[in-house]
Amino acid sequence: MTEKIDFKKTLDGYHAKAGQFRVLQLPVMQYLMLDGAGDPNTSDSYQHALQTLYPVAYKLKFASKSHGRDYVVPPLEGLWWAEDMAVFTEQRDKNKWCWTMMLMVPAWIGEDDYMKSLEAAHSQKPLPCAEKLRFETLAEGQCVQTLHIGPYDAEAETLSAMHDEFIPGHGFRMTGKHHEIYFGDPRRTAPEKLRTILRQPVESL
């Protein structure tokens, strides 16, 4: 029987501790990606993104078995940004948020696998954002990250400490988009038990 890989256990980028900021160097990764904007709690485009990402991700998991490998579909991830990043910390104005929702794809999966999986998923049930789905790499390099435990709306204090204290205090400046990795399903997990990695790409001053 093929061993099923769980990337949450094997990849360093999926490891973080609450109350601790850690600097790490990340390799180039590949993802299924979909862009959107607005409050994820009320935006149709956010729900449509998830309704497109997951069917293709599971088709890719099935296709991976032809390579003799099996894996657990990785956790949902998101890149978040805005013209004024204060809307994530001080103001929490979700209507001004822009985002890219993502699911990581293992390195042994290629473009041909992606195209076949997209076609298979879309033929089985029309995907609302099939034409906007992307299969691309992300090179974040040096990053700072920590684990947030609790509701998403309680992230502001931790993000302020990361952005305004730890990063400049350790001779870094922010370079890329705020990155979140979700280990809990908000539909099934109590808000106080949600676990989210908060990540920020940085460079040395």
Q: 33-56: per-residue pLDDT in tens?
A: 999 998 888 889 999 999 999 999
User: Could you give the dihedral angle defined by the CA atoms of residues 35, 84, 187 and 117, in that order, rounded to the nearest 10 degrees?
Assistant: 10
For each of the domains in the chain, give its residue range(s) and CATH number, in order of start: 4-204 (3.20.80.10)
Return all residues near 52 (Cβ < 8 A) that are at least 6 apart: 34, 127, 128, 129, 130, 132, 133
Query: Each residue of 64-77: pLDDT tens digit?
Result: 988 899 999 999 99
pLDDT category of residue 83 using cuts at 50, 70 and 90: confident
Cβ atoms 202, 172 nearer than 8 A: yes
What is the average pLDDT score of the chain? 92
Say whether pLDDT at 85 is over 70: no
DSSP character at residue 193: G
Cβ atoms 170, 204 nearer than 8 A: no
pLDDT of residue 86: 63
Cβ atoms 34, 53 nearer than 8 A: yes
Q: Which of 81, 87, 101, 109 is nearest to 174 (CA)?
A: 81
pLDDT of residue 1: 58
Mean of the pLDDT values across residues 177-187? 91
- What percent of the chain clears pLDDT 70, i.e. is strictly above it? 94
